[in-house]
Chains A and B, each alone.
Chain A
Amino acid sequence: DTAVSQTPKYLVTQMGNDKSIKCEQNLGHDTMYWYKQDSKKFLKIMFSYNNKELIINETVPNRFSPKSPDKAHLNLHINSLELGDSAVYFCASRGLTRTRNEQFFGPGTRLTVL
C-alpha cells in the first residue's frame, strides 16, 4: 500500500485556470506538508499543517491554499495559475511516534502551465 499518494501525477493546464492537487496519507500521521521543486531542482517548503496549526512559508503567493478535509488529506488549491507555477509539487507527512523524525514524501505531481 502506498503510504503517501498524490493525484494527479501529471497536470497540464492553461494560464489563469484554477486547479487542485490531492494528497492522501494512510500512515495515521498528524502533520502534512507541501513542497515545490522548480526546474533547477531546488525543493522549497510551502506549507506545514496539522489539525491545530497552519504554517505558511512567507514567500508563497496567496493564490496557493491548502485545504484539509480530514487528518489523512491535505489538498493544494492554486488559483489563477501562472507560468512560474510550473514545477513538481510534493506532499509529505510526519507522525508523532517512532518515526517522528522522518518525513514521508509522495511521488510528486508535475504541473505544467502553458
Chain B
Amino acid sequence: DAKTTQPNSMESNEEEPVHLPCNHSTISGTDYIHWYRQLPSQGPEYVIHGLTSNVNNRMASLAIAEDRKSSTLILHRATLRDAAVYYCILRRNAGNMLTFGGGTRLMVKP
C-alpha cells in the first residue's frame, strides 16, 4: 500500500470545526482513502472512506483533492469525545489488510 503522511498532533477547541490533513502523493488510481480513529484504550473505529468524490456521513466529511494526492477529514463540530488518534490509510481493494501509519493525535480543548 502507498504511504500517507499526517501531522503528529493537532489541537482544536470544542464546538469548532477541525480539518485533519493527509498527504498521499504516491496514491494509485485504484487506492481507496480510508480514515479510522482510535479513542484512548479502545480499538480503532471506522470513520469514512472515499475514492474520488467528497463524502459525507454522520461522523465526518472527507474532502479529496482533484489530483487525489491529498485529502482532509473534516469534523464539523469537535467534541471532547472526538479526542483520538486519526489514521489516514490507503487501501487497494476491500480484501486488503489495513496498513496503519503514525496518525494524528487530536486534542480537543473545552
- Asked if B97 contacts A101 (CB within 8 A), the reply is no
The SS class assigned to the B binding surface is loop
Contact with B along A82-114 (1 / 0, CB 8 A): 000000001010100000111111111000000
Give me the interface of A with B, judged by CB distance under 8 Å. Answer: 4, 31, 33, 35, 41-45, 48, 55, 57, 90, 92, 94, 100-108
Number of interchain pairs (Cβ within 8 Å) = 51
Interface status of B110 (Cβ within 8 A of chain A) = no
Task: Among A48, A100, A102, find the residue whose CB has the most chain B CB atoms closer than 10 A.
Answer: A102
Give A104's nearest chain B residue, CB to CB.
Answer: B46
Contact of B43 among A45, A100, A106 (CB under 8 A): A106
Query: CA–CA, A44 to B102, complex, Å?
Result: 11
Chain B residues whose CB sits within 8 angstroms of the CB of A41 once the complex forms:
85, 102-103
Query: CA–CA, A106 to B100, complex, Å?
Result: 16
